[in-house]
Copies of this chain bind each other. A is one copy, B any other.
Amino acid sequence: MAVALRDGFTYEGYSVHVARDGAAGLRMATEKSHDLVILDVMLPRLSGLDVCRQLRGAGNDTPIIMLTARGQEIDKVLGLKTGADDYVTKPFSFLELMARVEAVLRRASKTIDAVESAQFGDVEVNFKSFEATKGGRTIELSPREFKMLKHFVEHRGEVVTRDQLLDHVWGYEGLPLTRTVDMHIAKLRQKIEDTPSDPRHVITVHRVGYKFTG
């Protein structure tokens, strides 16, 4: 069971640590910081409820998802009362657990929404409503273009490498195998520059990357 979950989440790109029993899990969760903890209510040595309670008691507010057997209503209530963020009843599909995990992470990382809007030249962008205008006229930007532009705005004046863009805008890690970034730069220029062939905002820095100047 734990092994299957580990493999599943690893495949999904998560980094996973599995503990053999409740005590080991508690130690693990205490010693290192994790984004999320999944606890089975029935665990050898120390029940999931106890682990949860102790973590919370120690001021640890890592999101916790509890796994309970079907119908154990008591567990469910107890689990939530004990401080778990969500629970999943067995049997469950991996997808279901996955969905919960992502939901909990989402809620937990109610992070800051960064820049809300920006303007430069005669262009105005609102990253919340996904609207953009140039000289008062609406321009249509694709999601990727919005994200790229946002990254640029958040790094005005700095040179941004293609690697960085791939990291932050695409979420890829590793090398740019293709010319995708360049492509999107070109498209972005078509839309926000007065003279795309002689850009004033998105400047090419040969052999390095691109620089945004507002």
Contact = CB atoms under 8 A, between A and B. Distances in A.
Interface of A: 61, 80-81, 85-87, 93, 95-96, 99-100, 102-103, 106-107, 111-113, 115-116, 128-130, 142-143, 157-159, 163, 166-167, 172, 175, 177, 205-208, 211
Contacts of A99: 115-116, 175, 177
A81 to B, nearest CB: 8
Contacts of A142: 206-207
Contacts of A116: 99, 103
Given A167-B103, A207-B143, A129 B96 contact: no
A95 B142 CA distance: 27
Contacts of A166: 103
B157 A129 contact: yes
Contact of A167 (B61, B107, B128): B107
Given A99-B116, A167-B103, A111 B80 contact: yes
Which residue, A112, A115, A116, A143, has most C-beta atoms of chain B within 10 A? A112
Nearest to A129: B157
A143 to B, nearest CB: 4
Contact of A128 (B87, B113, B143, B159): B159
A143 B208 contact: yes
A143 B112 contact: no
- Lowest 5 CB-CB distances: which A-B pairs, in order? A143-B207, A99-B175, A86-B112, A130-B159, A128-B158
A95 B107 CA distance: 29
A212 to B, nearest CB: 10
7 contacts: A85-B112, A99-B115, A99-B175, A100-B175, A103-B175, A129-B158, A143-B207
A19 B118 CA distance: 32
Which residue, A99, A106, A167, A208, has most C-beta atoms of chain B within 10 A? A99
